[in-house]
Amino acid sequence: MSETAPSPEIAVIGAGYAGMACAQRLAEAGRTVKLFDKGRGPGGRSSTRRGEAGRFDHGAPFFAMSDPDFTAVVDLWRGHGVAAPWEGRFIAVDGSGTPEQPSLPAVMVGMPGMNGILKWLGEGLDIAFGVRVKRIVREGDAYRLVAEDGADLGTYGQVVIAVPSVQAVPLLEQAGAEAMARAAETVEVQPCWTVMAAFADAPPVAFDAAEVTSGPLSMALHQESKPGRDPAEPGMSTWVLHASDAWTRAHLEDDKEDVVAPLLDAFMGIGGPIDEPVFATAHRWRYAKVTGPAGVSHLWDGSLGVGACGDWLPDHDPQHGIEAAWRSGSALADAILEA
Ligand SMILES: Cc1cc2nc3c(=O)[nH]c(=O)nc-3n(C[C@H](O)[C@H](O)[C@H](O)COP(=O)(O)OP(=O)(O)OC[C@H]3O[C@@H](n4cnc5c(N)ncnc54)[C@H](O)[C@@H]3O)c2cc1C
Kindly report the pTM of this predicted structure.
0.96
211 lines ligand 1 (CB under 6 A): no
Q: Which domains does the chain possess? A: 1-38+130-185+298-339 (3.50.50.60), 49-112+190-289 (3.90.660.10)
Q: Compute the distance between CA of residue 201 and CA of residue 210 in angstroms, rounded to an integer.
A: 19
Q: What percent of the chain has pLDDT over 90?
A: 84
In Å, how far are 141, 171, 203, 312 from 161, measured between CA atoms? 17, 8, 43, 12
Q: Compute the distance between CA of residue 176 and CA of residue 181 in angstroms, rounded to an integer.
A: 9
> How far out from the chain centre does Cα 126 lie?
20
Contacts of residue 263, defined as CB under 8 A and 6 or more positions apart, other chains included, come to: 193, 195, 216, 217, 241, 243, 282
Tell me, in angstroms, the distance from the centre of ligand 1 to residue 11's CA.
18
Tell me, in angstroms, the distance from the centre of ligand 1 to residue 204's CA.
32
Q: Compute the distance between CA of residue 252 and CA of residue 247 in angstroms, rounded to an integer.
A: 8
289 lines ligand 1 (CB under 6 A): yes
**Which residue from 13, 45, 57, 247 has its CB within 8 A of the most atoms of ligand 1, so it is best to mutate?**
45
Residue 4: band (very low, low, confident or very high) from pLDDT cuts 50, 70, 90: very low
| pLDDT score of 200 more than 80 | yes
pLDDT of residue 1: 34
| pLDDT score of 7 more than 80 | no
Bridge-partner residues for 71, per DSSP? none
Q: Residue whose CA is closest, atom 32 of ligand 1?
A: 163
Please give the single-letter amino acid code of residue 11.
Answer: A
Contact 322, 63 (CB under 8 A): yes
Contacts of residue 18, defined as CB under 8 A and 6 or more positions apart, other chains included, come to: 162, 309, 310, 311, 325, 326, 328, 329, 332
**pLDDT tens column, 208-222:** 999 999 999 999 999
74 lines ligand 1 (CB under 6 A): no
| pLDDT score of 104 more than 70 | no
Residue 235: band (very low, low, confident or very high) from pLDDT cuts 50, 70, 90: confident
pLDDT of residue 2: 37
Contact 88, 224 (CB under 8 A): no
16 lines ligand 1 (CB under 6 A): yes
In Å, how far are 163, 209, 277, 289 from 205, measured between CA atoms? 37, 10, 15, 28
